A and B are shown apart, each in its own frame.
Chain A
Amino acid sequence: MRFAGIDIGSRTIKLVAVDEAGQMKASFLADTGFDPITAAKKLLAEVSFERIMATGYGRNLFEIAFDAPTVTEIKAHATGARAIFPEARTVLDIGGQDSKAISLFENGKVKKFEMNDRCAAGTGKFLEIMAKTLGYDLEAFGREALFAENDLNISSMCTVFAESEVTSLIAKGNNRREIARGLHISVIRRAAGMINRVSSEGDIVFSGGVAKNPCMAAFLTDKLGRRVLIPENPQSIGALGAALLALEKKASA
């Protein structure tokens, strides 16, 4: 028997299926596009399951369309991160358009959390737009930033202002790698602020699409002096958590 979790984010939809022992058996990803429910339907056709739980910003749409239970991103990410790193007490998730830091009690329950406010500053979307402005693809963006020799300070956190700041830095002949580094550091500064508000020590599990960027993990370690753990499939942690919660619900039902 299988249990599924679906994480409907603003940019991508993730679907994970687990078996009765909670082992991940399948994982899918698709673009959310303009119509999350149609996109979700397509993904659902890929797996069979006993019960499903939805999370992510589109969870309520899913709840209405499929009459499925929901859980917030916070609890889903906490649960997913613990499944992979059972000792984890701090989770950072940076997704397409949101970011959050969560601290956990020893037993895995959520202790405290922080989320970014209304705009895309400090999220995957920010990095994506900045990469484009600098003329890098996403992968090169992170890699090149790691090679930069000097720090360059980017003061704007707002996507629109940062874009024009970057344009003028390029025009002034600044090194592209250094600009890339500065942009990463500005996102890290914000993430570190969120983490510090919820927890002050111990390893940090880093999930979400942005965790795939090697530069981010390296800078985060530098900035906080804490070990950063990245799950194999960082984007699917929320969906995994939801799937495990669907399983748990079954067990208690």
Chain B
Amino acid sequence: MSETYRPMWEQLGLDLQSHDALLGVLGQSYKDIYLTQKNRPEGMSYFDFVMSEVHGLRIKELLDEKAEGRKIIGSYCVFVPEEIALAAKATLVGLCSGADFAMEEVDKILPRNTCALIKSSFGFKLGKVCPYLESADLIVGENTCDGKKKAYESLGHLVDNLYVMDLPQVKSEEGKALLRSEYKRFKEAVEQLTGVSITVESLQEAIQTVNAKRAALYRLSSLRKADPAPISGLDALLANQVFFYDNPARFTESVNTICDELEKRIQEKQGSFPEKTPRILVSGCPQAVPNWKLPMIVESAGAVIVGEESCVGERGTRNLTDDSGETVEDMMEAIVDRYFQVDCAIFTPNPDRPQHNLEMSDDSKADGVIHYGLQFCQPYLMEAIPVEKALEEKNIPCLRVETDYSMEDVGQLKTRVEAFVEQLR
């Protein structure tokens, strides 16, 4: 794709040489990890296409939207409500990234013991390789974990369009009041950015668009209950990752097309893996594109991933927003209600998450759970222990892994995952 898009990338201020290197690595690992899989659903060709054009066609679409007056908003967290962005004629894109880049530069700004997700976001900014970030008219940070909270202070010096959303840490009435007032402030900020006032109709339509997108992914995840699993965990994760970039309507349609195909596969007992393959639920930190490290290891160890209890996964997509409100205020309240249920580990206490792990293991018929913690991510690493305990009390084996984006621990991780899979057989 590179030649046609070069002027576009140049115009966005990307460092073309580094960007070429990044695309090279990305393309190669996609080929090695994704295209070598066996028995993939045909509908995945859509996602192959999306990935091959992730910095090309999709960026061009966004820039075309911009030319027509739409605004682009980038976000790092599933707490930033897409409904509000869409209702004010803005497009929301995810900015989290799943690869180390420009690490020497990052080390000058962030301490070494910062999680890979945060480091990577900075690496993509400092290395000038993320066209999403560079296209964004507004970048939304949020006060979630301490790492992100403080990192946004530094990010504020690197970009001139950062908006920080405060978020509650406790699920109390006061916490909810904070979320309500922050969403209201966000709504006003977006309206100001786009010059478009949110109306009952536009908000309702936006809620429906996002609901449809979530419902499609939810449908996909229910189909993964079948044995043999009709789709690999890698492919399902990819769909969850693309959720954050793609045009919402087209994404919904494509996921539903895959679901139709999966239903047929299930009827014909056709799977991506043979029947009785050990089934694993992955729980924990978000896995952003192109972080496919853990699923690659798990699925090459002869197990299949049947669910992600993660923000790139069910934590981000479960629960729809009630669209029946008659006023903007009613619907804003429905949005607050929906997002207030997200059980991110930054909340204290967070009893919903162990519970949710139990429910998901049950629903997805998982034989075991791998808790995925990024190194230095205190909230999830700490919460891994109560999650593990809750699972083991119900005799569901759990393996806690702690890793980052580097490949240096792959050998060790492989041994641990393989041993865990042996344990499940």
Chain A residues at the B interface, C-beta cutoff of 8 Å? 57, 71-75, 109-113, 115, 117-118
Contacts and interface: CB of A to CB of B under 8 A. Distances in A.
B409 interface: yes
Contacts of B423: 74-75, 109-111, 113
Interface string B394-417: 000100000000001101100110
A141 B422 CA distance: 38
A74 B399 CA distance: 13
A244 B158 CA distance: 60
A215 B204 CA distance: 73
B397 A74 contact: no
B159 interface: no
Nearest to A116: B412
B422 A74 contact: yes
Contact of A110 (B408, B409, B422): B422
Contacts of B422: 71-72, 74-75, 110
Nearest to A113: B419
Contact of B419 (A57, A73, A117, A118): A73
B418 interface: yes
B415 A118 contact: no
A159 B418 CA distance: 28
A203 B256 CA distance: 55
Contacts of A72: 415, 418-419, 422
Contacts of B412: 115, 117-118
A44 B50 CA distance: 50
Given A111-B397, A115-B415, 4 more contacts: A57-B411, A110-B422, A112-B397, A113-B423
Contacts of B419: 72-75, 110, 113
Interface size class of B (residues with CB under 8 A): 10 to 19
B422 to A, nearest CB: 5
Nearest to A115: B416
Contacts of A109: 423
Q: Is the interface of A mostly helix, strand, loop or mixed?
A: mixed
A118 B422 CA distance: 22
A184 to B, nearest CB: 25
For the residues of B in contact with A, the DSSP-based class is helix
Contacts of A112: 397
Q: What 3 pairs between A and B have smallest CB-CB spacing? A: A74-B419, A72-B419, A110-B423
A1 to B, nearest CB: 25
B112 to A, nearest CB: 15
A74 B421 CA distance: 11
Contacts of A75: 419, 422-423
A115 B419 CA distance: 11
A72 B418 CA distance: 7
Contacts of B397: 111-112
Nearest to B411: A57
B408 A73 contact: no
Nearest to B418: A72
A99 B408 CA distance: 18
Contacts of B411: 57
B327 to A, nearest CB: 54
A211 to B, nearest CB: 20
Most chain-A Cβ atoms within 10 A of its Cβ — which of B409, B418, B419? B419
Given A110-B422, A112-B397, A73 B415 contact: yes
B197 to A, nearest CB: 55
Nearest to B392: A112
B393 to A, nearest CB: 13
A232 B246 CA distance: 62
Max chain B C-beta neighbours (<10 A), residue from A72, A73, A115, A118: A72
A131 to B, nearest CB: 26
26 contacts: A57-B411, A57-B415, A71-B422, A72-B415, A72-B418, A72-B422, A73-B415, A73-B419, A74-B415, A74-B422, A74-B423, A75-B422, A75-B423, A109-B423, A110-B419, A110-B422, A111-B397, A111-B423, A112-B397, A113-B416, A113-B419, A113-B423, A115-B415, A117-B412, A118-B408, A118-B412
A111 B420 CA distance: 9
Contacts of B415: 57, 72-74, 115
A57 B415 CA distance: 8
A74 B412 CA distance: 12
B364 to A, nearest CB: 22
Interface string B204-223: 00000000000000000000
Contacts of B409: 118
Nearest to A72: B419
A72 B419 CA distance: 6
A207 B422 CA distance: 21
A128 to B, nearest CB: 21
A112 B419 CA distance: 10
Nearest to A74: B419
Nearest to A59: B415
Nearest to B416: A115
A109 B415 CA distance: 17
B297 to A, nearest CB: 13
Nearest to B388: A112
B276 to A, nearest CB: 15
B309 to A, nearest CB: 20
A211 B419 CA distance: 23
Nearest to A110: B423
Contacts of A73: 415, 419
A113 B423 CA distance: 10
A71 B421 CA distance: 11
Residue picked from B412, B418, B423, most chain A C-beta under 10 Å:
B423
Residue in B397, B408, B418 with the greatest tally of chain A CB atoms within 10 Å: B418
A71 B412 CA distance: 14
A76 to B, nearest CB: 10
A228 B219 CA distance: 53
A111 B411 CA distance: 22
A110 B408 CA distance: 27
A109 B397 CA distance: 12
A74 B418 CA distance: 9
A71 B419 CA distance: 8
